Amino acid sequence: MRLLDNDIVQVFAIGDVRRNVVNIAGQVFQPGEFELRPGATLGSLIDDAQGLLPWALPDRIKVVRQLPLTGRTILHDVDATSVAGKAFLLEEFDAVDVLDARVAYAAGSISVTGAVNAAETRPYSERESLRDAIERSGGLREDAQKVEVYRKWTGPAYNDTTSVRYSFDISPGFARDTSLRGFILERDDRVVVLASPGFREQRFATLRGHFKYPGSYAITENVDQIRDLVLRAGDILPGAYAGGFHLIRGGLDVAINFARAMRGDIQHNIGLLSGDELVIDLNPNTVLVTGAVGRPSLIRYRPGMSLNEYVELAGGPAEHGNVKRAVVTQPSGVSQRVRRVALFFSSSPEITSGSAITVPLKPESTTTSTDVWQRILASATAFASIAVAYAAVVR
Protein backbone atom coordinates (compact mmCIF):
# COMPACT_ATOMS: atom_id res chain seq x y z
CA MET A 1 0.00 0.00 0.00
CA ARG A 2 1.39 3.40 -1.04
CA LEU A 3 1.60 5.88 1.87
CA LEU A 4 0.62 9.50 1.43
CA ASP A 5 1.65 12.63 3.31
CA ASN A 6 0.12 12.76 6.87
CA ASP A 7 -0.93 9.11 6.88
CA ILE A 8 -0.88 7.49 10.37
CA VAL A 9 0.44 3.95 10.71
CA GLN A 10 -0.51 2.11 13.94
CA VAL A 11 1.11 -1.20 14.98
CA PHE A 12 -1.11 -3.13 17.40
CA ALA A 13 0.27 -5.13 20.36
CA ILE A 14 -0.54 -8.78 20.77
CA GLY A 15 -3.75 -8.99 22.82
CA ASP A 16 -4.20 -10.71 26.15
CA VAL A 17 -6.37 -13.44 24.65
CA ARG A 18 -4.29 -16.31 23.29
CA ARG A 19 -5.61 -18.29 20.32
CA ASN A 20 -5.41 -22.02 19.55
CA VAL A 21 -5.09 -23.03 23.22
CA VAL A 22 -6.93 -25.33 25.60
CA ASN A 23 -6.53 -25.40 29.38
CA ILE A 24 -6.39 -28.38 31.73
CA ALA A 25 -6.56 -27.98 35.52
CA GLY A 26 -6.91 -30.24 38.51
CA GLN A 27 -5.41 -33.64 39.19
CA VAL A 28 -2.84 -34.04 36.42
CA PHE A 29 0.93 -33.98 36.76
CA GLN A 30 1.39 -30.87 34.60
CA PRO A 31 -1.69 -28.59 34.56
CA GLY A 32 -1.75 -25.46 32.38
CA GLU A 33 -2.33 -24.19 28.85
CA PHE A 34 -1.51 -26.35 25.82
CA GLU A 35 -1.55 -25.83 22.04
CA LEU A 36 -4.70 -26.94 20.28
CA ARG A 37 -3.32 -29.06 17.47
CA PRO A 38 -5.53 -30.27 14.62
CA GLY A 39 -7.53 -33.29 15.77
CA ALA A 40 -6.59 -32.81 19.47
CA THR A 41 -8.60 -35.06 21.79
CA LEU A 42 -9.11 -35.32 25.54
CA GLY A 43 -6.80 -38.35 25.60
CA SER A 44 -3.99 -36.50 23.82
CA LEU A 45 -4.37 -33.49 26.14
CA ILE A 46 -4.06 -35.74 29.20
CA ASP A 47 -0.90 -37.23 27.68
CA ASP A 48 0.47 -33.69 27.12
CA ALA A 49 -0.22 -32.99 30.83
CA GLN A 50 1.95 -36.02 31.79
CA GLY A 51 -1.05 -38.13 32.79
CA LEU A 52 -3.51 -38.29 35.67
CA LEU A 53 -2.55 -38.27 39.34
CA PRO A 54 -3.44 -41.44 41.30
CA TRP A 55 -6.37 -39.78 43.05
CA ALA A 56 -7.90 -38.27 39.89
CA LEU A 57 -11.46 -39.21 38.85
CA PRO A 58 -11.04 -40.17 35.14
CA ASP A 59 -14.68 -41.22 34.67
CA ARG A 60 -16.15 -37.78 35.27
CA ILE A 61 -13.87 -35.20 33.66
CA LYS A 62 -15.59 -31.87 33.07
CA VAL A 63 -15.03 -29.95 29.82
CA VAL A 64 -16.35 -26.37 29.82
CA ARG A 65 -16.83 -25.02 26.26
CA GLN A 66 -17.63 -21.48 25.07
CA LEU A 67 -20.86 -21.04 23.10
CA PRO A 68 -20.33 -18.73 20.09
CA LEU A 69 -22.26 -15.43 19.92
CA THR A 70 -23.81 -15.87 23.39
CA GLY A 71 -20.98 -15.44 25.91
CA ARG A 72 -22.30 -18.49 27.72
CA THR A 73 -20.75 -21.90 28.29
CA ILE A 74 -21.81 -25.52 28.09
CA LEU A 75 -20.43 -28.36 30.23
CA HIS A 76 -19.61 -31.83 28.87
CA ASP A 77 -19.19 -34.72 31.34
CA VAL A 78 -16.68 -37.11 29.75
CA ASP A 79 -15.57 -40.59 30.84
CA ALA A 80 -11.88 -40.73 29.91
CA THR A 81 -11.72 -44.44 30.77
CA SER A 82 -13.75 -45.26 27.64
CA VAL A 83 -12.56 -45.23 24.02
CA ALA A 84 -15.20 -42.63 23.12
CA GLY A 85 -14.18 -40.44 26.02
CA LYS A 86 -10.50 -40.46 25.07
CA ALA A 87 -11.47 -39.57 21.50
CA PHE A 88 -13.58 -36.58 22.59
CA LEU A 89 -12.53 -33.77 20.20
CA LEU A 90 -11.44 -30.52 21.80
CA GLU A 91 -12.18 -27.01 20.56
CA GLU A 92 -10.44 -23.67 21.00
CA PHE A 93 -10.69 -22.24 24.53
CA ASP A 94 -11.95 -25.50 26.07
CA ALA A 95 -11.28 -25.69 29.83
CA VAL A 96 -10.79 -29.23 31.15
CA ASP A 97 -11.13 -29.90 34.91
CA VAL A 98 -9.96 -33.22 36.38
CA LEU A 99 -11.68 -33.77 39.74
CA ASP A 100 -10.04 -34.92 43.00
CA ALA A 101 -11.30 -38.18 44.53
CA ARG A 102 -10.04 -37.06 47.92
CA VAL A 103 -12.64 -34.30 47.84
CA ALA A 104 -15.41 -36.32 46.25
CA TYR A 105 -14.86 -39.18 48.72
CA ALA A 106 -13.67 -37.46 51.89
CA ALA A 107 -11.52 -39.83 53.93
CA GLY A 108 -12.72 -38.54 57.26
CA SER A 109 -10.43 -38.70 60.26
CA ILE A 110 -9.38 -40.69 63.29
CA SER A 111 -8.49 -38.97 66.56
CA VAL A 112 -6.53 -40.52 69.42
CA THR A 113 -6.44 -38.43 72.60
CA GLY A 114 -5.79 -38.85 76.30
CA ALA A 115 -3.07 -40.92 77.93
CA VAL A 116 -0.96 -41.57 74.83
CA ASN A 117 2.48 -40.21 74.05
CA ALA A 118 1.55 -38.37 70.83
CA ALA A 119 -2.15 -37.55 70.70
CA GLU A 120 -3.30 -36.45 67.24
CA THR A 121 -6.07 -36.32 64.66
CA ARG A 122 -5.13 -37.77 61.25
CA PRO A 123 -6.87 -38.91 58.06
CA TYR A 124 -8.68 -42.23 58.26
CA SER A 125 -6.92 -45.24 56.75
CA GLU A 126 -8.87 -48.34 55.81
CA ARG A 127 -8.21 -51.55 57.80
CA GLU A 128 -6.52 -49.63 60.63
CA SER A 129 -7.03 -51.48 63.91
CA LEU A 130 -7.33 -50.00 67.38
CA ARG A 131 -3.86 -51.31 68.19
CA ASP A 132 -2.46 -49.69 65.02
CA ALA A 133 -3.99 -46.35 66.01
CA ILE A 134 -2.51 -46.47 69.52
CA GLU A 135 0.93 -47.47 68.23
CA ARG A 136 0.87 -44.67 65.63
CA SER A 137 0.10 -42.25 68.49
CA GLY A 138 3.30 -43.17 70.31
CA GLY A 139 1.86 -45.90 72.49
CA LEU A 140 0.23 -45.73 75.90
CA ARG A 141 1.50 -43.61 78.76
CA GLU A 142 2.22 -45.33 82.04
CA ASP A 143 -0.93 -43.85 83.58
CA ALA A 144 -3.28 -45.29 80.90
CA GLN A 145 -6.08 -47.39 82.40
CA LYS A 146 -8.91 -47.72 79.89
CA VAL A 147 -9.52 -47.25 76.16
CA GLU A 148 -12.86 -46.08 74.83
CA VAL A 149 -13.88 -45.81 71.17
CA TYR A 150 -16.79 -43.55 70.20
CA ARG A 151 -18.36 -44.37 66.83
CA LYS A 152 -20.88 -42.26 64.98
CA TRP A 153 -24.33 -43.85 65.09
CA THR A 154 -26.21 -44.20 61.80
CA GLY A 155 -29.52 -45.84 61.05
CA PRO A 156 -32.65 -45.55 58.90
CA ALA A 157 -34.83 -44.27 61.74
CA TYR A 158 -34.52 -41.20 63.95
CA ASN A 159 -32.64 -41.81 67.19
CA ASP A 160 -31.36 -39.43 69.87
CA THR A 161 -28.19 -41.53 70.23
CA THR A 162 -25.29 -39.81 68.48
CA SER A 163 -22.54 -42.36 69.10
CA VAL A 164 -21.89 -45.93 70.15
CA ARG A 165 -19.25 -46.58 72.82
CA TYR A 166 -16.81 -49.51 72.94
CA SER A 167 -14.69 -49.96 76.06
CA PHE A 168 -11.43 -51.91 76.63
CA ASP A 169 -9.67 -52.33 79.96
CA ILE A 170 -5.88 -52.06 79.99
CA SER A 171 -4.26 -55.11 81.57
CA PRO A 172 -0.57 -56.08 81.91
CA GLY A 173 -0.89 -57.99 78.62
CA PHE A 174 -2.66 -55.16 76.85
CA ALA A 175 0.04 -54.78 74.19
CA ARG A 176 -0.44 -58.43 73.19
CA ASP A 177 -4.24 -58.35 73.35
CA THR A 178 -5.48 -59.79 70.05
CA SER A 179 -8.89 -58.13 70.49
CA LEU A 180 -7.25 -54.77 69.84
CA ARG A 181 -5.87 -55.97 66.52
CA GLY A 182 -9.23 -57.44 65.59
CA PHE A 183 -11.16 -54.23 66.34
CA ILE A 184 -11.09 -52.32 63.03
CA LEU A 185 -11.70 -48.60 63.20
CA GLU A 186 -14.18 -46.81 60.99
CA ARG A 187 -14.19 -43.32 59.55
CA ASP A 188 -14.56 -40.55 62.18
CA ASP A 189 -14.00 -42.89 65.14
CA ARG A 190 -12.76 -41.11 68.28
CA VAL A 191 -10.32 -43.06 70.46
CA VAL A 192 -9.99 -41.78 74.03
CA VAL A 193 -7.40 -43.31 76.40
CA LEU A 194 -8.40 -42.61 79.99
CA ALA A 195 -5.78 -42.09 82.70
CA SER A 196 -5.84 -43.78 86.08
CA PRO A 197 -7.37 -41.39 88.63
CA GLY A 198 -4.92 -42.59 91.28
CA PHE A 199 -1.79 -42.04 89.21
CA ARG A 200 0.52 -39.20 90.20
CA GLU A 201 3.86 -38.39 88.66
CA GLN A 202 6.72 -38.10 91.11
CA ARG A 203 7.41 -34.57 92.32
CA PHE A 204 10.91 -33.41 93.17
CA ALA A 205 12.50 -30.43 94.92
CA THR A 206 16.21 -29.63 94.71
CA LEU A 207 18.68 -28.48 97.35
CA ARG A 208 21.79 -26.63 96.15
CA GLY A 209 24.74 -25.24 98.02
CA HIS A 210 26.02 -25.97 101.50
CA PHE A 211 23.73 -28.75 102.62
CA LYS A 212 25.19 -31.98 103.90
CA TYR A 213 23.54 -34.00 101.12
CA PRO A 214 22.44 -31.63 98.32
CA GLY A 215 20.47 -32.99 95.38
CA SER A 216 16.92 -33.77 94.27
CA TYR A 217 14.41 -35.28 96.68
CA ALA A 218 10.96 -36.70 96.02
CA ILE A 219 8.28 -34.74 97.85
CA THR A 220 4.57 -34.73 98.50
CA GLU A 221 3.38 -31.32 97.36
CA ASN A 222 2.12 -28.98 100.10
CA VAL A 223 2.80 -31.72 102.69
CA ASP A 224 6.59 -31.74 102.86
CA GLN A 225 7.84 -28.38 104.16
CA ILE A 226 11.17 -26.56 104.06
CA ARG A 227 12.25 -27.83 107.47
CA ASP A 228 11.37 -31.44 106.55
CA LEU A 229 13.48 -31.38 103.41
CA VAL A 230 16.47 -29.63 105.00
CA LEU A 231 16.56 -32.25 107.76
CA ARG A 232 16.28 -35.06 105.19
CA ALA A 233 19.36 -33.54 103.52
CA GLY A 234 21.30 -33.73 106.80
CA ASP A 235 20.84 -30.01 107.65
CA ILE A 236 23.28 -27.29 106.53
CA LEU A 237 27.06 -27.51 106.71
CA PRO A 238 29.16 -25.49 109.16
CA GLY A 239 29.90 -22.11 107.64
CA ALA A 240 26.70 -21.98 105.58
CA TYR A 241 25.15 -18.50 105.70
CA ALA A 242 21.60 -18.90 107.01
CA GLY A 243 20.86 -15.26 106.26
CA GLY A 244 21.44 -15.93 102.56
CA PHE A 245 19.03 -18.87 102.30
CA HIS A 246 16.41 -18.45 99.59
CA LEU A 247 13.68 -20.50 97.97
CA ILE A 248 13.37 -20.30 94.17
CA ARG A 249 9.94 -21.07 92.77
CA GLY A 250 9.16 -20.66 89.09
CA GLY A 251 12.38 -18.71 88.59
CA LEU A 252 11.51 -16.15 91.29
CA ASP A 253 12.81 -15.75 94.84
CA VAL A 254 10.39 -16.43 97.69
CA ALA A 255 11.39 -14.38 100.75
CA ILE A 256 11.99 -16.88 103.57
CA ASN A 257 13.64 -16.41 106.98
CA PHE A 258 15.63 -19.64 107.34
CA ALA A 259 15.96 -19.50 111.13
CA ARG A 260 12.20 -19.09 111.55
CA ALA A 261 11.48 -21.83 109.02
CA MET A 262 13.70 -24.26 110.94
CA ARG A 263 11.82 -23.39 114.15
CA GLY A 264 8.57 -24.38 112.41
CA ASP A 265 7.16 -20.86 111.95
CA ILE A 266 4.19 -21.40 109.64
CA GLN A 267 4.83 -18.04 107.93
CA HIS A 268 8.24 -19.23 106.70
CA ASN A 269 8.18 -23.04 106.92
CA ILE A 270 5.90 -23.30 103.90
CA GLY A 271 4.84 -26.37 101.92
CA LEU A 272 7.00 -27.26 98.92
CA LEU A 273 5.95 -27.62 95.28
CA SER A 274 7.47 -29.65 92.48
CA GLY A 275 10.41 -27.81 90.93
CA ASP A 276 11.23 -25.76 94.05
CA GLU A 277 14.91 -25.05 94.66
CA LEU A 278 16.37 -24.45 98.15
CA VAL A 279 19.69 -22.63 98.00
CA ILE A 280 22.19 -21.75 100.72
CA ASP A 281 25.78 -20.55 100.26
CA LEU A 282 28.72 -19.30 102.31
CA ASN A 283 28.69 -15.84 103.87
CA PRO A 284 29.73 -13.41 101.09
CA ASN A 285 30.78 -10.67 103.57
CA THR A 286 30.00 -8.06 100.92
CA VAL A 287 27.27 -5.53 100.14
CA LEU A 288 26.43 -4.62 96.55
CA VAL A 289 25.78 -0.92 95.89
CA THR A 290 24.29 -0.20 92.48
CA GLY A 291 22.04 2.22 90.64
CA ALA A 292 22.59 6.00 90.55
CA VAL A 293 25.94 6.05 92.38
CA GLY A 294 29.39 7.21 91.34
CA ARG A 295 30.89 3.74 91.05
CA PRO A 296 28.60 0.70 91.45
CA SER A 297 30.63 -1.88 93.35
CA LEU A 298 30.84 -4.59 96.00
CA ILE A 299 31.75 -3.16 99.42
CA ARG A 300 33.14 -5.27 102.24
CA TYR A 301 30.44 -5.85 104.83
CA ARG A 302 30.98 -4.06 108.13
CA PRO A 303 28.48 -4.65 110.96
CA GLY A 304 26.72 -1.47 112.04
CA MET A 305 27.65 0.57 108.97
CA SER A 306 24.75 2.65 107.64
CA LEU A 307 23.23 2.79 104.18
CA ASN A 308 24.64 6.29 103.58
CA GLU A 309 28.13 5.10 104.47
CA TYR A 310 27.93 2.24 101.94
CA VAL A 311 26.72 4.67 99.28
CA GLU A 312 29.63 7.02 100.02
CA LEU A 313 32.11 4.14 99.65
CA ALA A 314 30.60 3.52 96.19
CA GLY A 315 31.43 7.07 95.08
CA GLY A 316 28.39 8.74 96.60
CA PRO A 317 25.09 9.35 94.88
CA ALA A 318 25.17 10.43 91.23
CA GLU A 319 23.97 13.90 90.23
CA HIS A 320 20.35 12.78 90.12
CA GLY A 321 20.63 9.90 92.60
CA ASN A 322 17.94 9.77 95.29
CA VAL A 323 19.38 8.10 98.40
CA LYS A 324 16.21 8.94 100.35
CA ARG A 325 14.32 6.41 98.22
CA ALA A 326 17.01 3.71 98.08
CA VAL A 327 15.90 0.06 98.19
CA VAL A 328 17.68 -2.61 100.22
CA THR A 329 17.27 -6.23 99.05
CA GLN A 330 18.23 -8.82 101.64
CA PRO A 331 19.93 -12.03 100.44
CA SER A 332 16.73 -13.90 101.35
CA GLY A 333 14.86 -11.89 98.70
CA VAL A 334 13.06 -9.38 100.97
CA SER A 335 13.18 -5.82 99.60
CA GLN A 336 12.63 -2.72 101.74
CA ARG A 337 12.73 0.98 100.94
CA VAL A 338 14.11 3.83 103.05
CA ARG A 339 11.13 5.30 104.97
CA ARG A 340 10.53 8.86 106.05
CA VAL A 341 9.54 8.86 109.75
CA ALA A 342 9.41 12.64 110.31
CA LEU A 343 9.76 15.86 108.34
CA PHE A 344 13.55 15.77 108.31
CA PHE A 345 14.25 12.18 109.43
CA SER A 346 14.22 8.78 107.67
CA SER A 347 14.72 5.18 108.67
CA SER A 348 16.96 2.81 106.70
CA PRO A 349 16.41 -0.98 106.52
CA GLU A 350 18.98 -3.21 108.21
CA ILE A 351 22.05 -3.88 106.07
CA THR A 352 23.21 -7.49 106.35
CA SER A 353 25.95 -9.42 104.61
CA GLY A 354 24.90 -10.20 101.05
CA SER A 355 22.46 -7.27 100.82
CA ALA A 356 22.07 -5.16 97.68
CA ILE A 357 21.50 -1.39 97.87
CA THR A 358 19.87 0.18 94.80
CA VAL A 359 19.84 4.00 94.54
CA PRO A 360 17.14 5.20 92.09
CA LEU A 361 17.13 8.38 90.03
CA LYS A 362 15.16 11.40 91.19
CA PRO A 363 11.96 11.87 89.20
CA GLU A 364 12.22 14.57 86.57
CA SER A 365 10.56 17.79 87.71
CA THR A 366 8.22 19.62 85.33
CA THR A 367 8.17 22.75 87.51
CA THR A 368 10.21 25.72 86.18
CA SER A 369 11.68 28.62 88.15
CA THR A 370 8.93 30.88 86.72
CA ASP A 371 6.29 28.51 88.16
CA VAL A 372 7.99 28.68 91.58
CA TRP A 373 8.01 32.51 91.63
CA GLN A 374 4.38 32.63 90.47
CA ARG A 375 3.39 30.34 93.37
CA ILE A 376 5.35 32.48 95.84
CA LEU A 377 3.72 35.67 94.50
CA ALA A 378 0.25 34.10 94.66
CA SER A 379 0.86 32.98 98.25
CA ALA A 380 2.12 36.45 99.24
CA THR A 381 -0.90 38.11 97.62
CA ALA A 382 -3.29 35.79 99.41
CA PHE A 383 -1.52 36.40 102.73
CA ALA A 384 -1.71 40.20 102.20
CA SER A 385 -5.43 39.98 101.45
CA ILE A 386 -6.03 38.02 104.65
CA ALA A 387 -4.04 40.60 106.66
CA VAL A 388 -6.03 43.54 105.20
CA ALA A 389 -9.34 41.79 105.92
CA TYR A 390 -8.24 41.04 109.49
CA ALA A 391 -7.24 44.68 110.06
CA ALA A 392 -10.61 45.89 108.76
CA VAL A 393 -12.44 43.57 111.14
CA VAL A 394 -10.37 44.74 114.13
CA ARG A 395 -11.15 48.41 113.41
In a domain, 9, yes or no: no
Half-sphere exposure of 67 (CA within 13 A, CB side): 7
Q: Is the sign of the CA dihedral 14, 15, 17, 19 positive or negative?
A: negative
Structural domain harbouring 209: 203-280
Same domain, 190 and 218: no
Task: From 195, 220, 237, give the residue that closes a domain.
Answer: 195
What CATH number is attached to the domain comprising 331?
3.10.560.10
Q: In a structure prediction context, what are the per-residue pLDDT tens digits for the chain, which is 395 residues long?
A: 899 999 999 998 888 888 899 999 999 999 999 999 999 999 999 999 999 999 999 999 999 999 988 889 999 999 999 999 999 999 999 999 999 998 888 888 999 999 999 999 999 998 999 989 999 999 989 889 899 999 988 777 777 778 899 998 887 766 666 667 789 999 999 999 999 887 878 899 999 999 999 999 999 999 999 999 999 999 999 989 998 898 999 988 898 889 999 999 999 999 999 999 999 999 999 999 999 999 999 999 999 899 999 999 999 999 889 988 899 998 888 888 887 655 555 677 889 999 999 999 988 765 555 665 566 565 555 545 544 444 554 45
> Is 153 inside any structural domain?
yes
Cβ of 138: how many Cβ atoms within 10 Å?
A: 13
Say if 147 falls within a structural domain.
yes
Which of 280, 311, 332 lies at the terminal end of a domain, its last residue?
A: 280
Amino acid at residue number 35: E
Asked whether residue 8 is assigned to any structural domain, the reply reads no
100-133 confidence digits (pLDDT tens): 998 888 888 999 999 999 999 999 998 999 989 9
* 295 plus 251 within the same structural domain: no
- Coil, helix or strand for 50? coil
Task: For residue 258, give the nearest of 286, 227, 234, 285 by alpha carbon.
Answer: 227
Q: Name the domain boundary from 195, 229, 249.
A: 195
The string over 283-317, giving b where at least 16 C-beta atoms fall within 10 Å of a residue's C-beta and e elsewhere, is: bbeebbbebbbbebeebebeeeeebbebbbbbeeb
Question: Is residue 127 in a domain?
Answer: yes
Of 319, 315, 316, 336, the C-alpha closest to 327 is 336
The tally of domains found in the chain comes to 4
Q: Is the pTM of this model over 0.85?
A: no
Q: What percent of the chain has pLDDT over 90?
A: 63
Single out the residue of 6, 1, 5, 61 nearest to residue 28, CA to CA. Answer: 61
Question: Does residue 87 sit within a domain?
Answer: yes
| Distance spanning both ends of the chain, measured CA to CA | 124
Which among 91, 35, 101, 102 has a CA at the least distance from the CA of 68?
91
